[in-house]
Amino acid sequence: MDAGLPRQQYRSMSTRCCIVGGGPAGMMLGYLLGRAGVDVIVLEKHADFFRDFRGDTVHPSTLQVMDELGLIDDFLKIPHDKLQKLEGYFGKTRLRIADISRTGAKYPFIAFMPQWDFLNFLRDKGRRFPSLRVMMSTEATGLIHDGDKVTGVHATDANGAIDINADLTVACDGRHSIIRPSAGLEIEEIGAPMDVLWFRAGKTAETESILARIEAGKMMVTLDRGTYWQCAYVITKGQYDTVRAKGLESFRSDVVSLAPILKSGIADVKSWDDVKLLTVAVNRLKRWTRPGLLCIGDAAHAMSPVGGVGVNIAVQDAVAAANILAAKLARGAVSEDDLAAVQRRREFPMRVTQAMQVIIQNNIVRAALNPGSGSFKPPLFARIINAVPWLQGLTARFIAVGVRPEHVHSSEASDKKYGHLEFP
């Protein structure tokens, strides 16, 4: 510890499991472990969950998990929009590339819901578990080691430094994780040809079910959020300064040329402060574990925005981790092999998903961002999918349900384990 800090500022506490990061992976794992009676702390560095332009897609696989937890009825009371059919303009040709109604999923739609509502819902529902504690405004700054073993987390909150000792630390702190470099975990970079500019455009009564819009040298995704359009303008990686140098009016003109429906709403983009740069990264850890440490979600594998699957892959990681670890954590510490079992379970679905994302990046996104000449022609496979409806169910299943979806097998602790509590 830093000898320069007053001694009274040093505090410590102990828990069975400390989860770093209150995103989808962290909050879902915290909920599941608290539900199983495991003493668990979730650290979230911000005072609330409100972040602009975070992933807002809740796929059928995640809705199924909420159903298995008995939460689905309350969850679907949260205001949300639904998407079943994924369609796009490839040049001037309109094609349907996925139809979620054909997947056989119990909840055959993607729910668009602000991520802060999703996370607040899990936190509120988790309050009934006395073994779960969510510590807001508490930032992890590094790992505590005992030799080669990770034994907890150094953190800071409003009252200063605090050490949280834990039998297991789980890094859920995203693609910019401070935990994985602190653990010396090696990252395999896969790369992406694009970055994304996120912005909102105003919306009145107009509506359109088009998701993707591609012209030669230009690509954009538009999501109808009921009261506004959420837009992702795709640019060649590293070209943000070039786009910005052309001026805001040029940018707005390009947007409207791709999506005329945004003509009236684009006035909401008043300055570059209204446009957020998402630097796209696709990577994965070669090893997700150290003794006493597990990484899941984006901390273990940053996903491309292609398909909007990042939130749902993170939730699947959390469900698998709880299935494998919860009962053992309730009894005591877990072994290195227990942690490695989580990676073994989740690595195949993650690798297949990333591989498909890379194929789309290389064969559609890269081609779309190449100015070339003439109009953009839809690729053959997109035309085949559009012509054969049952294929739209296959593509939808890959996007919306995923590869080998997880189901909740971890147990809920008995009322006796919770103790005598009265819940509102």
104 in the Ramachandran plot: left (φ > 0), alpha (ψ -120 to 50) or beta?
left
pLDDT at 422: 32
Rounded to an integer, what distance in angstroms lies between the CA atom of residue 278 and that of residue 195? 6
Of residues 125, 164, 120, the one with CA closest to residue 35? 125
Residue segments in the chain with a per-residue pLDDT below the cut of 70: 1-9, 51-55, 372-374, 415-424
- Predicted structure pTM score: 0.92
Residue 38 tokens, joined: 């495991």
pLDDT at 254: 94
pLDDT at 52: 60
Residue 167 tokens, joined: 């039998």
pLDDT at 65: 98
C-alpha angle 370-261-85 in degrees, rounded to nearest 5: 75
Of residues 16, 118, 13, 121, the one with CA closest to residue 413? 16
Of residues 228, 243, 242, 234, the one with CA closest to residue 214? 234
Of residues 362, 26, 10, 372, the one with CA closest to residue 192? 362
Torsion of CA 265, 267, 271, 275, to 10 degrees: 10
Average pLDDT, the chain: 91
Q: How many residues does the chain have?
A: 424
pLDDT at 387: 96
49-62: pLDDT as tens digits: 876 656 689 999 99
Name the pairing type of β-strands 210-215 and 132-135.
Answer: unpaired
Residue 98 tokens, joined: 């996925």
- Single-letter residue type at 337: D
Residue 59 tokens, joined: 């796929």
